[in-house]
Amino acid sequence: MEDADGYKARHGGWNYTNVTRACKIFLEGIAAAGYYPLLYTGFEEIDNYIDPAIVSKFDIWFAHWARACGYTGKGLSMWQYGGETNLIDGNSIPGVGVIDKDLCYKDYPTIIKGSGKNGWSSGSGKAPAPAGLTTAQAMSTARALVGKDEDPDECDIMKWYGTFDTDINAVACCCAGMMYLFFKKLNAGNLIPGGKCADCGSLAYNFYKAGQLHKAC
């Protein structure tokens, strides 16, 4: 919740009642839908426009472009410390340019998975595959990745997988590529029996144990 460009104020919506109401409807609506909401805002809004009952109820993603976060209230979970102005480190990243930067104080992947939010099964650590995922959709996503490289100095797939060992990269890149596709790009990791694995033998055995290993003609 912010009005950085003054649009809301110019159009008559920037007051305590409207801002509080908008925050309440959005945050409680997101939570009711089974997702994990955060309130992104700053000092002006928290001090003057948002009911403290809302502020205390949700995690706060606080914007304060300074050398230290000045907000010490309940629920501080993320701090946006820079953007166009950055007093801590560079205000841009290679290949993207000027970008907002943040620090996160909570392990949200673990929290969200463990609480069954955002489509995850409670405590399972596995997310449901998108409804109606087809082979054609998976292949289309895979083809779209060909020739794309987020980091020109490293292999995106092996960087995500978590190893740069030369021997592993030489023999396991095909399996790691499948893991990258299903876990990172398709949100369909639960379709891979045994979880993330870049070893052809182990991967085949996991499918065999799950009764999903199919013979080629």
Same domain, 14 and 107: yes
Instruction: Tell me the pairing of strands 38-41 and 59-63.
Output: parallel
DSSP-derived secondary structure letter, 50: S
Q: Range with the lowest mean pLDDT among 91-95, 131-135, 181-185?
A: 131-135
Domain check: are 48 and 83 in the same one?
yes
Specify if 194 maps to a domain. yes
Residue 120 falls inside a structural domain: no
Residue 121 within a domain = no
CA distance 125 to 143: 28
Which of 114, 147, 171 is where one domain is finished?
114
Q: How many domains does the chain have?
A: 2
15 and 104 belong to one structural domain: yes
Evaluate if residue 216 carries a pLDDT over 70. no
In a domain, 143, yes or no: yes
Q: Are strands 101-104 and 76-82 parallel, antiparallel or unpaired?
A: antiparallel
Q: Evaluate if pTM is beyond 0.85.
A: no
Residues 157 and 58 in one domain: no
What is the band of 191 on the pLDDT scale with cuts at 50, 70, 90? confident
Of all residues in the chain, what percent carry a pLDDT higher than 90? 38
Query: For residue 167, is pLDDT > 80?
Result: no
Is 170 among the domain residues? yes
Cβ proximity of 198 and 172 under 8 Å: yes
How do residues 24-47 score in pLDDT, each as one tens digit?
999 999 999 889 999 999 999 999
Whether residue 122 has pLDDT greater than 80: no
Residues 140 and 106 in one domain: no
pLDDT confidence of residue 217 = 45
Q: What's 35's domain CATH number?
A: 3.20.20.80
Q: What is the mean pLDDT of residues 174-187?
A: 82
Give the model's pLDDT for residue 28.
94
Domain extent, residue 43, equals 7-114
Please say which residue of 60, 81, 114 terminates a domain: 114
Q: Are 78 and 144 within one domain?
A: no
Q: What is the largest CA-CA distance in the chain?
A: 69
Tell me whether strands 92-93 and 76-82 are parallel, antiparallel or unpaired: unpaired
Lowest mean pLDDT: which of 30-39, 102-111, 128-137? 128-137
Tokens of 82: 């820079």
**Which of 188-217 are b and which e, b meaning 16 or more Cβ less than 10 Å from the residue's Cβ?**
bbbebbeebbbeeeebeebeeeeeeeeeee
Shared domain check, 97 and 26: yes
Same domain for 70 and 41: yes
126-131 mean pLDDT: 56
Per the structure block, which two tokens stand in for 143?
């083809």
pLDDT over threshold 70, residue 168: no
| Most confident option among 116-130, 146-160, 185-199 | 185-199
Task: Say if 48 falls within a structural domain.
Answer: yes
Asked if the structure places residue 216 within a domain, the reply is no
Torsion angle, alpha carbons of 104, 109, 112, 114, to 10: -130
String of b and e for 107-121 (b: at least 16 CB within 10 Å)?
ebeeebbeeebeebe
